[in-house]
């Protein structure tokens, strides 16, 4: 259960960053597109330089070297947009990463501080996600480019493989008083549902903000991450769009949200307690106006009808309609949670637009997870409206304050008994539910998921107990 808010609970601010992609040589993120009303004028990084975009190219000037107004803020990180009415400054980023930032520097600022809290004896859950327009570098940020997925500790590795590698190294450095197991999962959120990217797109469900029914694959070395990244790339729903072309090396635009979940279970032998924490990196689908891809507006209802008639022929416009609906719902959930925490009230689950993705991601808004966010921006002259919207999205997220507390450990015997009882109950419920031809058959698919999930949980707990007692049970993908 999430921590209860109250006056004695400190409110924690999220880590919210901006990342500006380089201008492309062609396509939707080049400087040859049609100019729109708004545009990214400049950004200021913590190195004290302001990087400006103009028809002459990109230029950099030290803070204070220009006029006072253009360098207001004294070197503080910020993004500046411009239109016919003047300039708008957004100073919510803790740091603005420019086109030349290394993946290592990004990890050091965005995720490394959270990894330390994730691996503590009584650790924290962490949720890190990338938001932005299609083609602005969200997948690059979370997973890294495809060429990095075949090499351990590749310089271009994204946040998630670095998190897994660092967490493994930390846990292996501990003494023998703690036994641990680490597993990776990958869940795709597509057309308001949840599906397992590592197990044939089997259906998953979200219960109390947490996924149920997803396969958990054990990792004992960083090499184990490589296959997971490749499987995600192969199985994830993508499509070519005007803003993100497909090629033999690149699948095009991600048309779904993808959650990469690293689950760490620590068994402290002396106390017999288990602390289970998760570090989740989410690559959100791209947010943009339909016109940016040359599409006509499609309502969410029309998109759903097209999906249920023939899921394989859904157009990018219909996919985009659902994506924008869910991203809007996530933003609303963040704004609502911000106000609830400010007033010291309990945060309720979203009742509108409560899709699987919104339900899962809003776990960071009730205090059960630390939150990091990277807003990816395009400097292209045709992407000004999307860049503006991304800046206002980041502004709303940066206002969030949550009463985050560490995960409470559970006695291992009680955990094992609870898992076995849940598995037995789920199996019994499934056994008496007809697959078809009966009113209760509508529950059959969900009960299949629950039976699979709790059987897996029982095995994982048993393996951890055996490891803590010095036995060496077989470890494998479940």
Residues 41-74 have pLDDT tens digits of: 999 987 777 888 866 666 777 655 444 344 444 4
322/445 same-domain check: no
Cα 260 from Cα 167, distance rounded (Å): 15
Residue 350 within a domain: yes
Would you say residue 299 has pLDDT above 80? no
Question: Rounded to a whole number, what is the largest CA-CA distance in the chain?
Answer: 76
Average confidence (pLDDT) over 25-33: 74
261/299 same-domain check: yes
Segments forming the whole domain that contains residue 120: 15-22+103-398
136/200 same-domain check: yes
- What is the pLDDT confidence band of residue 40, given thresholds at 50, 70 and 90? very high
pLDDT at 254: 66
pLDDT at 424: 97
Cα 422 from Cα 99, distance rounded (Å): 49
**Residue 241 DSSP symbol:** B
Would you say residue 7 has pLDDT above 60? no
**Residue 25 DSSP symbol:** S
Strands (E), 249-322: 253-254, 257-268, 273-283
Q: Give pLDDT tens digits for 418-450.
A: 999 999 999 999 999 999 999 999 999 999 999
Residue 176 within a domain: yes
CA–CA distance from 118 to each of 75, 123, 277, 373, 412 (Å)?
31, 5, 7, 16, 20
C-alpha 112, offset from chain centre = 16
Residue 54 within a domain: no
CA–CA distance from 458 to each of 202, 217, 469, 478 (Å)?
20, 15, 17, 11
Instruction: Considering only residues 336 and 306, tell me which one the structure prediction assigns the higher pLDDT.
Output: 336
- What is the pLDDT confidence band of residue 3, given thresholds at 50, 70 and 90? very low
275/310 same-domain check: yes
pLDDT at 234: 87
286/152 same-domain check: yes
Contact present, 91 and 78 (Cβ < 8 Å): yes
For the CA atoms of 282, 283, 288, 294, the dihedral, rounded to the nearest 10 degrees, stands at: -150
pLDDT at 11: 85
Average confidence (pLDDT) over 395-415: 93
393/455 same-domain check: no
Cα 204 from Cα 195, distance rounded (Å): 5
Contacts of residue 373, Cβ cutoff 8 Å, sequence gap at least 6: 14, 15, 16, 17, 128, 129, 130, 131, 394, 397
Contact present, 374 and 336 (Cβ < 8 Å): no
Beta bridge partners of 180: 266
Beta bridge partners of 349: none
pLDDT at 90: 96
- What is the pLDDT confidence band of residue 292, given thresholds at 50, 70 and 90? low
Cβ count within 10 A of residue 341: 22
- What is the pLDDT confidence band of residue 243, given thresholds at 50, 70 and 90? very low
**Residue 312 DSSP symbol:** G
- What is the pLDDT confidence band of residue 248, given thresholds at 50, 70 and 90? very low
Number of domains in the chain: 2
Cα 104 from Cα 80, distance rounded (Å): 26
176/275 same-domain check: yes
Q: Of how many residues is the chain composed?
A: 478
Would you say residue 312 has pLDDT above 90? no
Residue 90 within a domain: no
Which of 330, 277, 333, 363 is CA-nearest to residue 2?
Answer: 363
254/390 same-domain check: yes
pLDDT at 343: 84
Instruction: Considering only residues 281 and 346, tell me which one the structure prediction assigns the higher pLDDT.
Output: 281
Contacts of residue 303, Cβ cutoff 8 Å, sequence gap at least 6: 191, 314, 317, 318, 319, 321, 322
251/192 same-domain check: yes
Identify the helix (H) or strand (E) that includes residue 183: strand 178-190
pLDDT at 470: 77
338/461 same-domain check: no
Cα 353 from Cα 340, distance rounded (Å): 19
Would you say residue 1 has pLDDT above 90? no
The answer to which of 60-64, 183-187, 329-333, 386-390 has the lowest mean pLDDT is 60-64
pLDDT at 239: 47
Contact present, 233 and 149 (Cβ < 8 Å): yes
Beta bridge partners of 371: 127
Would you say residue 21 has pLDDT above 50? yes
Tokens 């990109």 — which residue?
A: 58
What mean pLDDT is reported for the chain? 85
281/342 same-domain check: yes
What the block records as the tokens of 56 is 């002459």
Residue 304 within a domain: yes
Contacts of residue 276, Cβ cutoff 8 Å, sequence gap at least 6: 263, 264, 265, 266, 407, 410
Would you say residue 376 has pLDDT above 50? yes
CA–CA distance from 65 to each of 62, 82, 87, 91 (Å)?
6, 20, 19, 20
Contact present, 295 and 391 (Cβ < 8 Å): no
Q: Give pLDDT tens digits for 74-108.
A: 458 999 999 989 999 999 999 999 999 999 999 99
Q: Is residue 259 classed as helix, strand or coil in its secondary structure?
A: strand
Average confidence (pLDDT) over 29-52: 82
The answer to which of 4-13, 66-75, 191-200 has the lowest mean pLDDT is 66-75
Q: Give pLDDT tens digits for 443-476.
A: 999 999 999 999 999 999 999 999 998 765 554 4
What the block records as the tokens of 118 is 């994730």
Residue 30 within a domain: no
Residue 32 within a domain: no
Rama region for 126: left / alpha / beta (φ>0; ψ in -120 to 50; rest): beta
Residue 220 within a domain: yes
310/432 same-domain check: no
- What is the pLDDT confidence band of residue 221, given thresholds at 50, 70 and 90? very high
């Amino acid at each position: 259960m999430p921590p209860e808010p109250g006056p004695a609970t400190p409110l924690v601010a999220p880590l919210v960053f901006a990342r500006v992609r380089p201008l492309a040589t062609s396509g939707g993120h080049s400087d040859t597109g049609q100019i729109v009303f708004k545009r990214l004028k400049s950004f200021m990084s913590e190195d004290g330089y302001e990087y400006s975009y103009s028809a002459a190219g990109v230029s950099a000037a030290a803070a204070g070297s220009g006029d006072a107004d253009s360098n207001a803020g004294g070197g503080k990180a910020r993004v500046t947009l411009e239109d016919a009415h003047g300039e708008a400054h957004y100073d919510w980023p803790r740091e603005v990463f420019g086109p030349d930032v290394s993946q290592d520097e990004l990890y050091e600022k965005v995720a490394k501080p959270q990894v330390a809290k994730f691996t503590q004896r009584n650790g924290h859950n962490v949720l890190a996600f990338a938001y932005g327009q299609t083609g602005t570098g969200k997948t690059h940020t979370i997973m890294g480019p495809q060429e990095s997925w075949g090499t351990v500790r590749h310089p271009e590795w994204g946040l998630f493989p670095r998190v897994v590698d660092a967490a493994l190294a930390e846990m292996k450095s501990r003494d023998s008083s703690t036994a641990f197991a680490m597993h990776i999962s990958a869940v795709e959120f597509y057309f308001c549902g949840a599906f397992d990217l590592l197990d044939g797109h089997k259906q998953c469900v979200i219960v109390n903000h947490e996924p149920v029914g997803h396969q958990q694959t054990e990792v004992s070395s960083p090499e184990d991450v490589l296959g997971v990244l490749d499987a995600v790339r192969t199985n994830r729903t993508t499509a070519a769009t005007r803003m993100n072309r497909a090629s033999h090396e690149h699948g095009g635009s991600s048309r779904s949200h993808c959650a990469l979940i690293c689950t760490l279970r620590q068994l402290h032998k002396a106390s017999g307690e288990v602390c289970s924490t998760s570090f989740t990196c989410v690559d959100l689908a791209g947010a943009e106006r339909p016109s940016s891809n040359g599409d006509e507006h499609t309502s969410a209802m029309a998109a759903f009808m097209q999906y249920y008639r023939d899921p394989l022929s859904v157009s990018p416009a219909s996919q985009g309609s659902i994506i924008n609906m869910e991203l809007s719902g996530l933003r609303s959930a963040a704004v609502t949670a911000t106000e609830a925490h400010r007033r010291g009230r309990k945060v309720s689950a979203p009742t509108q637009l409560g899709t699987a993705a919104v339900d899962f991601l809003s776990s960071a808004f009730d205090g059960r997870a630390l939150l990091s966010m990277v807003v990816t921006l395009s400097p292209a002259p045709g992407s000004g409206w999307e860049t503006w919207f991304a800046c206002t999205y980041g502004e709303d997220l940066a206002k969030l304050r949550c009463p985050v507390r560490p995960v409470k450990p559970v006695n291992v015997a009680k955990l094992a008994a609870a898992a076995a009882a849940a598995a037995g109950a789920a199996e019994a419920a499934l056994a008496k539910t007809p697959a078809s031809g009966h009113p209760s058959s509508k529950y059959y698919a969900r009960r299949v998921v629950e039976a699979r999930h709790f059987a897996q949980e029982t095995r994982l707990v048993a393996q951890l107990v055996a490891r803590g007692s010095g036995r060496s049970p077989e470890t494998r993908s479940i």
